[in-house]
């Protein structure tokens, strides 16, 4: 696991965060394999030894890039008010993920594109946290189906549809352009919820009503 024993002081936390941010930028610009520890140190403005003081090897930085934003998502979904409706809950999930695209776009892009570069032990931890988050969303969707709020469907597929809409936005969403992250999240949620809520789909027209013979 990445070193965490130097995170206790504010200065140490800032230097560590700067290393992670610089690595995410360079991995995006140059690619994971073309980014050396020396380049990361140059971008931060520190010595290579400082980078090694916090991270023994480059995969640990890649892991931390993921760990920061998945922990943020886990914290946000856990903080959802208990009395929030299903629509409010799902709407907030869209906003949470798109907010990451706004504030940590390099981090999200890097992890999706270089996830398989993680060694087995770190990949297992990252996968476990991601699975925990996905199960939390799927559980609420399943409850909505059972309560008749959402139309009958496979809850895991419905959850993956949500994640597909949100996660793929890292490919096309650019912070500071025409729409804000919240505006994009709101539109994506409206499209998604219109498809999954109970009574959202009209029955297929019969041949006679469609004018067929």
Domains of the chain, by residue range, sit at: 1-56, 59-196
- Regarding predicted confidence, which is higher, 173 or 150? 150
**pLDDT reading at 134 higher than 80:** yes
**pLDDT reading at 207 higher than 50:** no
Report the pLDDT averaged over residues 92-113: 91
d(CA 98, CA 170): 9
Among candidate residues 106, 103, 85, the one with its CA nearest the CA of residue 25: 106
90-123: burial string, b at 16+ Cβ within 10 Å, e else = bbbbbbbbbbbbbebbbbbbbbeebeebbeeebb
Computed over every residue of the chain, the mean pLDDT equals 88
CATH class of the region 59-196: mainly alpha
Q: Looking at residue 121, what is its pLDDT?
A: 95
Q: Looking at residue 161, what is its pLDDT?
A: 96
CB atoms under 10 Å from CB of 57, counted, come to 11
Kindly report, residue by residue over 13-35, the tens digit of the pLDDT. 899 999 999 999 999 999 999 99
Q: Looking at residue 112, what is its pLDDT?
A: 87
Lowest-confidence segment of 4-13, 33-42, 139-148 by average pLDDT: 4-13
Q: Has domain 1-56 been given CATH number 1.10.10.60?
A: yes
């Amino acid at each position: 696991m990445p070193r965490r024993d130097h995170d206790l002081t504010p200065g140490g936390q800032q230097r560590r965060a700067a290393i992670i941010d610089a690595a995410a930028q360079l991995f995006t610009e140059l690619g994971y394999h073309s980014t050396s520890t020396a380049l990361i140190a140059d971008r931060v403005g520190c010595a290579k030894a400082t980078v090694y003081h916090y991270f023994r090897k480059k995969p640990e930085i890649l892991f931390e890039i993921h760990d920061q934003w998945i922990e943020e998502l886990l914290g946000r979904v856990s903080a959802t008010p208990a009395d929030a409706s299903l629509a409010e809950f799902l709407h907030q999930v869209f906003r949470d993920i798109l907010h990451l695209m706004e504030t940590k776009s390099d981090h999200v892009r890097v992890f999706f594109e270089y996830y398989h570069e993680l060694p087995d032990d770190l990949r297992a931890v990252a996968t476990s946290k991601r699975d925990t988050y996905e199960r939390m969303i799927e559980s609420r969707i399943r409850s909505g189906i059972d309560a008749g709020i959402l139309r009958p469907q496979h809850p895991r597929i419905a959850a993956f549809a949500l994640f597909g809409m949100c996660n793929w936005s890292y490919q096309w969403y650019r912070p500071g352009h025409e729409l804000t992250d919240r505006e994009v999240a709101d539109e994506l949620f409206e499209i998604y919820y219109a498809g999954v809520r109970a009574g959202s789909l009209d029955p297929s027209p019969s041949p006679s009503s469609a004018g067929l013979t």
